[in-house]
Amino acid sequence: MPDSQISNKEMEALRVIRSHLMKYGKMPSVRELMKELNYRSPRSASVMIQKLISKNILEKKTDGSIRLIRYEVGETGGISQEQTVKVPLLGTVTCGLPVYAEENIEAEIAVSTKIARQPGKYYLLRTQGDSMNLRGINDGDLVLVKHQEHAENGDIVVALIDNEVTVKELKINEENVVLLPQSANKAHTPIILSRDFAIQGIVVSVIPL
């Protein structure tokens, strides 16, 4: 069984990797990790990655790419997941596929169960644009989404429309539903739909970056 204890340098690398994932939605390259950790050669960064893989903190996928599967470090240097739940961080969403598809997962991030309340499935999604900035959701922010196919009037939903994922406020009336932007940019307009459309989840928290 791999050793779960990690050194101070490994903790530092782990925090750099997590920060890069949260900001850019992808793992740092070997050279980016080398630069952030002030290493003199890419080999040192490669060795660090292999150490984190051996301790089940990083995972090498079948296509050769690397993803983060655990990050929360306890006070004793071990990996702690007390009062947290693993939440997938989604990278670039392929149009036409469900948001929650396995192939979209870039990492698994530990999130407090006070936010990601159980039971339930959650995922983190990076937002684009300014269509919801009046609700505190800005370009590049992460939103924590509870995965479900129904929502209530006034919820901020993640919806699949014309093979694209959008985040909007849901308004329901007797005949149809409206996906409302909440933006200072008046170029954004409502989307009027029948009741038969795909909800991917509801936004429960915003993580500004």
Strand partners, 180: 169
Residues of the domain holding 177: 102-207
194 and 144 housed in the same domain: yes
The answer to whether 80 and 74 have CB atoms below 8 angstroms apart is yes
pTM for this prediction: 0.66
Q: Would 120 be classed as within a structural domain?
A: yes
Q: Is the peptide bond before 88 cis (omega within 30 degrees of 0)?
A: no
- The CATH number of residue 109's host domain is 2.10.109.10
Q: Which residues contact residue 107 at a Cβ distance below 8 angstroms, ignoring those fewer than 6 apart?
A: 18, 21, 27, 67, 68, 69, 71, 88, 89
Q: What is the pLDDT of residue 108?
A: 80
The residue annotated as part of the active site, out of 7, 86, 168, 171, is 168
- Residue 124 phi/psi, 5-degree rounding, is -100, 135
Catalytic residue among 35, 61, 131, 183: 131
Distance CA 17, CA 68 (A): 8
Q: Is 131 a catalytic residue?
A: yes
Return mean pLDDT, the chain.
81
Q: Assess whether 26 and 74 both reside in one domain.
A: yes
Assess whether pLDDT exceeds 60 at residue 81. Answer: no
Give me the pLDDT at residue 182, please.
Answer: 93
Return d(Cα 59, Cα 69) in angstroms, integer: 7
What digits encode the pLDDT tens for the residues 39-61? 999 999 999 999 999 988 888 88
Look up tokens 């509870």; give the residue: 146
pLDDT at 1: 37
Give the single-character DSSP code of 133: G
Q: Is the pLDDT of residue 101 over 90?
A: no
Give the SS3 label for residue 70.
Answer: coil
| CA pair distance 94, 6, nearest whole angstrom | 35
- Are 85 and 34 in contact by the 8 Å Cβ rule? The answer is no
In this structure, are 27 and 123 located in the same domain?
no
